[in-house]
């Protein structure tokens, strides 16, 4: 693994485990057994590391959504999509947990995140329209934008909500899984009768019941 990639992998691990605020570039360098100067050769500061991790995260999410738009939304296809979403939400969980703090510190990151959000909302809108056209959901035209926004809100701020509401409970993969179940709950009123079995299978997959 290249040194730059090693730095990003270790930073991601530490940010996820300890929280981004608690981790310094010195901590990252020490965990890798390298000098701070060697780290600074690749990244001038911690903000540059965060920006690189955001770029990787954004690319993974956009690729996942773009791929899903060309698939028939069978149960296996939806499970593959949601499992991919789950994996990425957990893999980069530090970012959404500290979102406001990270964006307030870096104007370029804030601008990049705004553009990313716009693209992601467009992807989500296309995905929900595809589910409508394929007979899975029946979404009134005047409710589509609200459903897109609510999907994004739950996905983005779920971990913040869980940490603030259940501050004595550690975040686990089950916490993210519960967030996906919460997103699925938003779609229940729109499920067509012929897709109820498919929908029930999705909910069972993420609730275990």
Task: Assess whether pLDDT exceeds 80 at residue 88.
Answer: yes
pLDDT digits (tens, 9 = 90+) for 173-208: 888 888 888 999 999 999 999 999 988 988 888 887
Domain 47-207 -> CATH class = mainly alpha
- Which superfamily, per CATH, for 1-44? Homeodomain-like (1.10.10.60)
Examine the pLDDT at 145 and tell me if it is beyond 90: yes
CA–CA separation, 167 and 188 (whole Å) = 29
What are the residue boundaries of the structural domains of the chain, listed by start?
1-44, 47-207
Centre a 10 Å sphere on the Cβ of residue 149 and count the other Cβ atoms it contains. 13
8-56 residue pLDDT tens: 999 999 999 999 999 999 999 999 999 999 999 999 999 999 999 999 9
Task: Go through 71-103 and write b for each residue having 16 or more CB atoms within 10 A of its CB, e for each that does not.
Answer: eebeeeebeebbebbbebbbebbbbbbbeeebb
Is the distance from CB of 7 to CB of 39 less than 8 angstroms? yes
Query: How many Å apart are CA 144 and CA 110, to the nearest integer?
Result: 26
Cβ atoms within 10 Å of 126's Cβ, excluding its own: 15
pTM: 0.84
Three-state secondary-structure class, residue 137:
strand
**Chain Cα centroid distance, residue 67:** 16
């Amino acid at each position: 693994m290249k040194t730059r990639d090693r730095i990003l992998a270790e930073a991601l691990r530490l940010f996820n485990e300890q929280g981004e605020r608690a981790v310094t570039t010195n901590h990252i360098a020490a965990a890798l057994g390298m000098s701070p100067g060697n780290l600074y050769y690749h990244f001038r500061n911690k903000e540059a590391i965060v920006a690189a991790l955001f770029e990787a995260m954004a690319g993974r999410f956009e690729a996942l959504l773009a791929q899903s738009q060309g698939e028939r939304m069978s149960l296996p296809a939806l499970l593959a999509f949601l499992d991919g979403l789950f994996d990425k939400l957990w893999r980069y969980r530090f970012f959404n947990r500290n979102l406001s703090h990270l964006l307030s510190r870096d104007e370029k990151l804030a601008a990049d995140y705004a553009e990313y959000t716009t693209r992601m909302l467009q992807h989500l809108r296309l995905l929900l329209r595809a589910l409508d056209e394929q007979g899975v959901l029946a979404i009134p035209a005047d409710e589509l934008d609200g459903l897109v926004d609510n999907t994004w809100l739950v996905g983005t701020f779920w971990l913040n909500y869980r940490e603030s509401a259940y501050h004595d409970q550690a975040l686990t993969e089950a916490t993210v899984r519960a967030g996906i179940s919460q997103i699925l709950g938003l779609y229940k009123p729109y499920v067509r009768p012929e897709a109820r079995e498919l929908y029930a299978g999705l909910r069972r997959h993420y609730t275990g019941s």
